[in-house]
Chain A
Amino acid sequence: MNGEAMRDQWYPVGIAAQLTPAGRDSLLLGEAIRIACDSDGAALVTDGAGRALPVITRFGHVWTTLGQPERDLFTIPEADQPGRRLVDVGTVLVRCSPLRAVENFLDIAHFPFVHTDILGSEPHTEVQRYEVEIRDDVDEVWATKVSFYQPQAAKSAQGGINAEYMYRVPAPTCSVLYKTCPARPEEWDVITLFVQPLTETTCQVWPWMALFDEDSSMTDMIHFQQMIFVQDRSILENQIPALLPLDPGMEIPTRADMTSIAYRRWLKRHGYTYGAQLVAA
């Protein structure tokens, strides 16, 4: 298998509140798994041979691994602040590399064209310089001081704002976005993209959010995020090649793509290459 290092990672495989004793079949890194719960509602994940896999329940989702992770699943301390509403957005299957799904989540330049009049609009297309680093102490990719003009940044936003963002990649198929919170300017909304790699070219995407928003209904918040993600889906299923190219010659980045450049470099450094293409075909 491409990307052995990715076996030793935690992956989302279901919404904790929606497990059933009957369970359901799925894939993880191309291998069969089954997700169910016991009579007390506790998550049970088994591999193709019926052996129990390690389980963590966090951020409203069930996480498992096929390998031996050196570290605990990452945390999002901000999400524990009182007053946040935790939103299980649901899941969508996408025929794309799990790594392409994360890279798209890290990208802002597509907002005016793919999320038109919601997260961006012409002529406000310019991406200002921002800061990107691979934080060696925590081994995460971070992009900070990102800002972009948005006509309707969140369900709770009225009219356009210059939204501020921070992006964090704590695991190869997970990203956390901290974004201007319209209801509480001093806090960040937390919007995540958790990706379950089914195969190298198909993935199950589980967005999750922890928001300060007292006005919107839960359903409205879910629908807003589903709308955004499904707008991306038709892009993600039409990129060639389907695998994320790590060969620098294959695709042409610009300054607006610094987060993606750092993400690809970090993937390559760690051998997180399940869903990646190392040399041009």
Chain B
Amino acid sequence: MNWTPAALSQDIPSGSAAPGQLGDKDIVIWRSASGRIAAWSDRCPHRGMRLSHGFVRGEFLSCIYHGWRYGDGGQCHRIPAHPELTPPDAIKVPVFAVTESDGVVWVAQKDAEPEAPPPGLAGFSPLRTLRLSARPETVAAAFGGTGLDLRGELGGCAVVVLIQPLPDDQCNLHALAANGADTATLDRVSAALEALRRQAETAEEIAA
């Protein structure tokens, strides 16, 4: 298995959590106050609440439902209903492998961490992530490429478009644009991505 692009680093600032996905698994991607990124199962072991609805205080992520507080490695550190209790080691959120490079957050299964690093994206800066209702091959065809790592030009600018396949014939596009592109150019790339999405979704609807 390879690393899967799951988010852009700029979309998960320190002290925040966001929902993400790895294949059909729901994950929470969160960054501690000191800037450490983590990807965990998006489910509190207590009552199954999505941890991506939770809150980050310092180096810990807490569940919004009962405030159970989790730290490094997914370990539960505090149960507010029992402030005196040291939670047993067994109370743990399953964790995923995560790495950040060139402004992209990549995730993988913990027990199948890829040996090769994620593809190099030197020369490009993260632009934005878009969700669309089309299969990856439909998107690649609309872009005029193949595979999940599309490189070419959009809106008059060199771009990399990373496709993250999602369940139910959906995918995320994580788009990067050439370093140094000015704001007006980036606006054109963003508009071209919207156009690409419309084109792919229309093609998908016709195919269906």
Contacts and interface: CB of A to CB of B under 8 A. Distances in A.
Given A235-B65, A252-B91, A112 B80 contact: yes
B198 interface: no
B47 A239 contact: yes
B81 A126 contact: yes
A238 B42 CA distance: 10
A109 B91 contact: no
Contacts of B46: 251-254
Interface in B57-93: 63-67, 79-83, 85, 90-91
Contact of B81 (A239, A251, A256): A256
A251 B80 CA distance: 17
Contact of B47 (A127, A234, A251): A251
B92 to A, nearest CB: 10
Interface in A234-255: 234-235, 238-241, 245, 250-255
Interface in B157-198: none
Dominant secondary structure of chain A at its interface with chain B: loop
A222 interface: no
Given A109-B81, A114-B64, A256-B82, A235 B45 contact: no
Given A109-B81, A238-B53, A256-B81, A125 B43 contact: no
A255 B43 CA distance: 21
A240 B83 contact: no
A110 interface: yes
Given A109-B66, A240-B26, A122 B80 contact: yes
B48 interface: yes
Nearest to B64: A113
B33 interface: no
Interface residues of A, number: 23
A6 B48 CA distance: 24
Most buried by A among B50, B63, B66, B82: B66
Interface string A119-137: 0001001110000000000
13 contacts: A109-B81, A110-B66, A113-B67, A126-B82, A126-B83, A127-B81, A235-B49, A235-B65, A240-B49, A250-B48, A252-B45, A252-B90, A254-B46
Interface of A: 109-110, 112-114, 122, 125-127, 234-235, 238-241, 245, 250-256
Given A240-B42, A256-B81, 19 more contacts: A109-B81, A112-B80, A113-B65, A113-B80, A122-B67, A125-B80, A238-B50, A238-B53, A239-B47, A240-B43, A240-B49, A250-B48, A251-B48, A253-B46, A254-B46, A254-B79, A254-B81, A254-B85, A255-B82
